[in-house]
Chains A and B, each alone.
Chain A
C-alpha cells in the first residue's frame, strides 16, 4: 500500500458532539488537505487528535508504517514523538522568547552552528529579516503568523497541521497572505492538513477538501468536486457556493476583468491576476434566468445556454444551465412556471460582475 495517513477515530464530548472521523491522506506526492466546516463541527478536535493533544476513545491513527494511536491496544504516541509541525489558532508564540528564540525552540537536538544556520534559512524564507531579536508582542498579525509557521516547519516535520492559519488577521492582510501561504505550502512539499471555515481559503490552499459537520466528515474530494457537486444537501449548505469552475483571466481593463471558462467569456470585477488560473465562484442565488431575447439589464454577463437539470426543494428550484460550463441558479417555483422552463429549454443567465468571485489558483 502506498504511504498514507489514515484516520478512523471517535471521541465523545458529552452534551456537545461526538467526533467520528474517517480520513485518508496519501503522503506521496505531499498534498494539502483542508478540513472545512462551520465552527463547532469538530475540525480542531480532529487536528488535535492528529497532533497528539487529544486522545480518541476508539479507533486508530496510522501514519505510513507508524501507529500513532490504537485505542484497542492502548498505543498513544506522544506529540513529541510524532515529528509534526503544529500551528494553533492565534499562533501561541512564546512571549518570553524572541523571534529567533521561537524559531529555534524545537531545534535543541542540532548543534549550535546548524541551529543558527536553520534559523537564518527560515528567517530568509519567511521574510523576517531584521526582526530576529523582536518579541512577539512587537510584531504585526501577519509577522506573527510567519514566525509561527517558521517555528512549525523548523524541524522539517513529516506532517504540517495548521489550525485556521489566517483567521486571526484582518480582511485585507488575510487575502494577501492566502496566496503567499499557498505558494509556501507548495514550496515546502510537506503533507499538510489545514483547518478553515472560509471557502476562499479552502479553495486557495487545498488539493483535497474534507467537509465536516457535527463531528463527522460528510464528503472528501477535490475542491471543484466538493463545491460543484456536493454529496448531499447538508454539504451544499455548508459550502454555500454552487458553481465553482476553473477559468483564466484573459484581460483586465477599467476595473473590469474578462475571464474565459471553457471558452465562455465572463466579466468580473477587477483583479491583478491577469493571465493566471483562477477558480470562478458563483452563488446560485446571484444568477437570474431570463427568456432568450429579453431586454437589456445592468448585469454584465448574459450567458446563453440550455437547462440540463432541475431539482425542486420546497418552493425553490435549483436549475443547472449548460452555458459552456455547468452553472447553477436558484429560482422560485412560480418563476419556473412563468418562464415555462423544462429540461432542454433555452435560457439566458444574467450575472452581475460583482457576483463573480475569483480565487487565485497558482499551479501546484
Chain B
C-alpha cells in the first residue's frame, strides 16, 4: 500500500474540512438568513460542483490559479512558485469541489433553528454574531458535524479535480484515488484492491456515522 498517498489524502481531507468549516459557516448563514431576492444566484453557484463534471471544474480552477491569471500571478509573486501542481493548489481546488457538501448541511441546520429563538436573543441585547455562536451553533451541531464529515469524505475520493489541478506528484499531490488508478494501469490489481478496500471502508464508516447521527440533515437544499 502507498502510505505516502494515504497521508497526502488524509492531510488534504482534514484541511479541506477545516477550511470549509470556517468559510462555509458565514456562507450558509448568509444563504439562510438573507432576504436578498437574487440570493438563488449564489445558491446555484455553491451547488454547481454537485452537477459539474470534475474535469470541467478542475479545468476552470486550473485556469483561474494558473500563471496567466491575476490570482496566479499574485500568488507566484508572493510565494515564489505557481499554485497549480502543488499541494496548496490541490487544497484550493478541493475546497471549491466540496463546498456544497459543507454549506448545504450547515444551511439545512440553520434553517431548522426556530426564528423566534433568534429574534428573542436579539431583543435581549445580544448581537447577531454572539447569537450565532451562543445559540445557533449549539442548536446546529448535528448539521455542522455532518457538513464537516461529508466534505472530509468527499475529498477522500476525488479524482478528476485532483488530476487536473494537482497532477500526480508523489508525496505532494498523488492521492489515494490516483494511486489506485496508477496501480490498475500497471496491472497491479492486488495493490489496487487493498487501497480500494481501505477507501471503501473509511468512506462507508464516515457515512454510517453521519446517518446514525442525524438522517434529516443529509439532503439537498433546505426545505422551504
- Chain A interfacial positions (CB closer than 8 Å to B): 51-53, 78-80, 82-86, 88, 90, 92, 94-96, 105-106, 108-109, 151, 154-155
B35 CB, nearest partner CB in chain A, Å = 11
Asked if residues B127 and A86 are in contact (CB atoms below 8 Å), the reply is no
Asked if residues A80 and B117 are in contact (CB atoms below 8 Å), the reply is no
B187 at the interface (CB under 8 A from A): no
Residues of A near B125 (CB, < 8 A) are 80, 83, 106, 109, 155
B62 CB, nearest partner CB in chain A, Å = 44
Residues of B near A88 (CB, < 8 A) are 116, 119-120
In B108-151, which residues have CB < 8 Å from any A CB?
114, 116-117, 119-127, 130, 134-135, 138-139
Asked if residues B116 and A92 are in contact (CB atoms below 8 Å), the reply is yes
Q: Top 9 closest A-B pairs, CB basis?
A: A106-B124, A86-B123, A92-B116, A79-B122, A92-B120, A96-B138, A79-B123, A88-B116, A53-B119
Asked if residues A92 and B122 are in contact (CB atoms below 8 Å), the reply is no
User: Can you pick out 10 interface pairs between chain A and chain B where the beta carbons lie within 8 Å of each other?
Assistant: A51-B119, A83-B125, A84-B123, A86-B119, A88-B116, A92-B114, A94-B120, A105-B121, A105-B134, A155-B125
Asked if residues B119 and A80 are in contact (CB atoms below 8 Å), the reply is no
A82 CB, nearest partner CB in chain B, Å = 8
**A84 and B124 alpha carbons, distance in the complex (Å):** 7
Asked if residues A105 and B139 are in contact (CB atoms below 8 Å), the reply is no
A220 CB, nearest partner CB in chain B, Å = 25
**A108 and B124 alpha carbons, distance in the complex (Å):** 10
A3 CB, nearest partner CB in chain B, Å = 21
In B137-176, which residues have CB < 8 Å from any A CB?
138-139
Q: Which residue of B lies closest to A148 (CB)?
A: B120
**A82 and B126 alpha carbons, distance in the complex (Å):** 11
Residues of A near B134 (CB, < 8 A) are 105
Asked if residues A80 and B120 are in contact (CB atoms below 8 Å), the reply is no
**A109 and B123 alpha carbons, distance in the complex (Å):** 15
Residues of B near A106 (CB, < 8 A) are 121, 124-126
A114 CB, nearest partner CB in chain B, Å = 15
Asked if residues B126 and A108 are in contact (CB atoms below 8 Å), the reply is yes
- Add 14 more A-B contacts to A51-B119, A80-B126, A108-B126 (CB < 8 A): A52-B122, A53-B119, A53-B122, A83-B125, A85-B123, A88-B120, A92-B114, A94-B117, A94-B121, A94-B135, A105-B121, A109-B125, A151-B124, A154-B124
Q: Which residue of A lies closest to B130 (CB)?
A: A108
Residues of B near A80 (CB, < 8 A) are 122-123, 125-127
**A109 and B127 alpha carbons, distance in the complex (Å):** 12
Q: Which residue of B lies closest to A105 (CB)?
A: B124
Residues of B near A78 (CB, < 8 A) are 122
Main secondary structure of the interface of A (DSSP, over half): loop
Interface centre among B121, B124, B134, B139, by most A CB within 10 Å?
Answer: B124
In B41-93, which residues have CB < 8 Å from any A CB?
none
Asked if residues B135 and A51 are in contact (CB atoms below 8 Å), the reply is no
Asked if residues A92 and B117 are in contact (CB atoms below 8 Å), the reply is yes
A317 CB, nearest partner CB in chain B, Å = 47
In B8-24, which residues have CB < 8 Å from any A CB?
none
B143 CB, nearest partner CB in chain A, Å = 14
Q: Which residue of A lies closest to B122 (CB)?
A: A79
B124 CB, nearest partner CB in chain A, Å = 3
Contacts A94-B135, A106-B126, A155-B124 given; indicate if A79 touches B119 (C-beta within 8 A): yes
Residues of A near B120 (CB, < 8 A) are 86, 88, 92, 94
**A36 and B125 alpha carbons, distance in the complex (Å):** 28
**A154 and B126 alpha carbons, distance in the complex (Å):** 13
Q: Which residue of A lies closest to B124 (CB)?
A: A106
Q: Which residue of B lies closest to A101 (CB)?
A: B134
Residues of A near B139 (CB, < 8 A) are 95-96
A49 CB, nearest partner CB in chain B, Å = 13
Residues of B near A92 (CB, < 8 A) are 114, 116-117, 119-120
Residues of A near B135 (CB, < 8 A) are 94, 96
Residues of A near B122 (CB, < 8 A) are 52-53, 78-80
B174 CB, nearest partner CB in chain A, Å = 44
A309 CB, nearest partner CB in chain B, Å = 47
Residues of A near B123 (CB, < 8 A) are 51-53, 79-80, 82, 84-86
Asked if residues B116 and A90 are in contact (CB atoms below 8 Å), the reply is yes
**A272 and B103 alpha carbons, distance in the complex (Å):** 60
Residues of B near A109 (CB, < 8 A) are 125
A121 CB, nearest partner CB in chain B, Å = 17
**A85 and B123 alpha carbons, distance in the complex (Å):** 7
Residues of A near B130 (CB, < 8 A) are 108
Interface centre among A52, A105, A155, by most B CB within 10 Å?
Answer: A105
Q: Which residue of B lies closest to A96 (CB)?
A: B138
Asked if residues B126 and A105 are in contact (CB atoms below 8 Å), the reply is yes
Q: Which residue of A lies closest to B123 (CB)?
A: A86
**A108 and B125 alpha carbons, distance in the complex (Å):** 9
**A149 and B134 alpha carbons, distance in the complex (Å):** 20
Residues of B near A151 (CB, < 8 A) are 124
A46 CB, nearest partner CB in chain B, Å = 15
**A105 and B130 alpha carbons, distance in the complex (Å):** 11
